[in-house]
Amino acid sequence: MNSSGRSHHSHGSDLNNSDRSQHTARSEGMSSVSSIIGLDKTIEVRREEGDLLHNMVHLEVPFGKPIEEVYDGVHDGKLLGSGISGVVRFVTHRATGVEYAVKCLDLSLVKTEESLRQLREEIFVMCELDHPNIVRLDEVYESHTEIYLVQELCLGGELFDRLDCQPDYHYTEEECARLVKQIMNSVRYLHLKGIVHRDLKLENFLFSTTAQDSELKMIDFGFSKHFHDGEVLEEAVGTPYTVAPEVIKGSYDERCDIR
């Protein structure tokens, strides 16, 4: 465990005497059990290349410790949100009592190579991010049917709802400037790391708490992608009513996040 209390390495199944070589590899930070979608091997390679900002994201592949043994509420906790790929639930760490949000991604919906690639990309992107205005990924668990992303819990609601549900509250110029600054800082951080979000909207910014001066957190990296300087992107992704016109035309770059 590192100083923040997160494991640096992946865990697999119990080992017998014939598995000593695998145990040695695992103790050095490599998993002895293959991930269904290859997360363990790819993450390990990217760690060796220095690609991941923080190695603290813990990965638990199939036959390792089930997430249900670590967190309470994985399948029956309060529903925080839902989407085309799965649901987000409120969970509590059984040992520490710390509360998190877990995004449960249904692997039965991953039916094409492209959807598999995008699922990998979402997880790899989140493993690289460490910014006060971007939701933090702490752990990744994988079963034969689902991927579980254990994330920082944000209880303040969406930016959209706060603006829409407080018609009698008028934000001051100073408050608006503070929110816009947080949004732009998170976008700038992404782009400097060579990542484009491709689905930025008011609904994808959550307040950390219910306080009026709470920090904003960018969420939902399901359409995110790594890019190179000068690269022209062509995939038509995002939310129709907020997507940039150039995305619909099929020729755009990272600037689509701010248009």
**Residues in the annotated binding site for ATP:** 103
Sign of CA dihedral 95, 98, 99, 100: negative
Catalytic residue among 14, 40, 168, 199: 199
The CA distance from 157 to 149, in Å, is: 19
Alpha helices in the chain (DSSP H): 20-27, 39-48, 67-70, 113-128, 159-164, 173-192, 245-249
CB–CB of 104/140 below 8 Å?
no
202 to each of 2, 34, 96, 180, 219, how far by Cα in Å?
A: 35, 38, 33, 11, 10
CB–CB of 52/128 below 8 Å?
yes
Q: Note if 199 is an active site residue.
A: yes
- Residues marked active site are found at 199
